[in-house]
Amino acid sequence: MLMPLQREQRVTESISLSRYAQIGAFLLRYRKAGLFNGLDLDLQEAALAQEADPVESGRPEQFVDDLEALGPTFIKVGQALSTRPDMVPPAYLAALERMQDDVAPVPVAEVRAMIEAELGARIGVLFGSFDDQPLAAGSMAQVHAATLRDGREVVVKVQRPHIAQTLREDLAILEKLAGAADRLTDMGRRYGFADWVHELRHSLANEINFALEADNLRRFAANLHDYQHLYVPQPLDNFTTERVLTMDRVRGIKVTHVPPVRRMEHPLQQQAQELLRAYLDQVFVHGLVHADPHPGNVLLMDDQRLALFDLGMVARLPPHTRQSLLKLMLGAIGGNGDQVGEISESMGTPLQDFRHSQYRRSVDQLVSGYAGLHDASRAFSEGRLILELTRVGAACGLRPPPELTILGKTLLNLEAVTTALDPTLDTRAVVEQHLQQMMRHQALSSLSPANLASEWLDLQELARRTPQHMGAILRTLAENRLRVRIDGLEESRMMESLQKIANRIATGVIVAALVIGAALTARMQGGASLFGLPILSALFIIVAAILGAGLILSALRRDRKVDRAADRTPD
């Protein structure tokens, strides 16, 4: 008779195998759908295309429907794939961008139970009122309206039950499949699926931790303090945990639903400019990238301010990455294809088949096409340029960094919001002006007393040590002890290879001599014979055959090892 723990383990293993089968069937269904093909075709034409290819009815839409049917993990996988034009063709990108994250709501009894368990009190004690009808229900959480006991309006974001376990199990399966694909397929080595799944795991772990989202709300509010037309609702610390987030309620309308009459009465050009400049500050100054600033996450309030919320997906950029991205953006705006190509290449990971010259030519054409458009044109914007850079890189054998795809998707979403607020806004002019202001501010800040003092100390240290180092160099030269070491060639391995080549040549010469000897001795008359040949001739042929077979087998085995080593992508 099975113990309860054993029965539970059997059930878990059965569910895991069933999930493997479900995911495996999905992957097999779309293995020949062209998801990762066609990226090498006509780079220039694809890069300069003004609109994405229209989605044909059928496979792309069905692919999205099947992703949604696999559950919340794969809804997030689809959203992540929508930021990767280097991996997904335009038709699938367009379908993925329309993916909906609306699911059936959790029963309110379960929601109330989680809130009470997390906050340690009953709903009636915590809130003056609590609306059982959710305002929104997503794959990770759902939101309910409530009021505090003092009448303050709030919203309560509650994590869906068991979502963490579901994500953990699905991502474990995806990691195993991605690892196998990276080891066994050229496509896996090119795209690095295991690394991509690892980044997705990190992103989702942050997204379901509502304590981190509350911290993001506070950080964004502090960073945007000087922008009068922007507002970030604040969390209530005593009502927030890792699975429950309570924050101020914002009333307003989506920026895509602003009536024309209201736009005429209150022009929104200043709001659009402030939003764009604020996000540029967040990326290049503070190193925070809100990876999902789509129009649904921006509301126009009654006092004409823009409210920003849903800050769970926030990426953090280190200073050197910010500097590289800033230089890349300035180079693109200035039409400097060489600068853009050099920076993007240094940020990416070149694969073994990386085509440097083709990549540089494609980037130069891409940047020239972008810079040649008129300022008022929105056909080929900054966000689309960044995303096309990642696609061109993948086509030429350069794996793009994740920061580049996040920045491109963020800019593309921002452009959709600013277009909804003010269709006449010259986005490129605002971006160029603000980035130049950033560069001037950084140049001036480098002249601050603290920085100057630090640099002076470095110079002082260099001056103090220079005589000692110069003396050591001169003594080395005077005593003829200067040596140059080259690590490009490994002498022992080279000598081993030369010895193997010499052995093959010697064996080949011996085999040829034995064959010639067998031919000459075959004319001898009389004496013992073997296989109808004189015994000496037959022995020559047998020895030559054995040596020749051994030489062929050794060569084949050695060549297979060389081919396998060449197929491995360098770390």
Tokens encoding 22: 């479900």
CA distances 527 to 251, 487, 523, 531, Å, are 112, 62, 12, 13
101 exposure class (CB count in 10 Å sphere: 0-12, 13-18, 19+): middle
* pLDDT reported for residue 446: 59
Please report, as a single letter, which amino acid is at residue 482.
L
| pLDDT computed for residue 145 by the predictor | 92
Please give the pLDDT value at position 260.
Answer: 79
pLDDT of residue 258: 82
- Taking the alpha carbons of 518, 519, 520, 524 in that order, is the dihedral positive or negative? positive
d(CA 133, CA 127): 15
Burial of 87 (0-12, 13-18, 19+ CB in 10 A): buried
CB 80 within 8 A of CB 203: yes
Q: What is the reported pLDDT for 147?
A: 92
Give the pLDDT score at 569.
Answer: 43
Q: Check residue 41 and give its pLDDT.
A: 35
**Burial class, 246, CB count within 10 angstroms (exposed 0-12 / middle 13-18 / buried 19+):** buried
pLDDT of residue 46: 39
Q: Which residues of the chain have pLDDT under 50?
A: 1-14, 38-57, 374-379, 489, 565-571
Query: Cβ(411)–Cβ(386) under 8 Å?
Result: yes
* Tokens describing residue 554: 């050794």
Q: What pLDDT score was predicted for residue 486?
A: 61
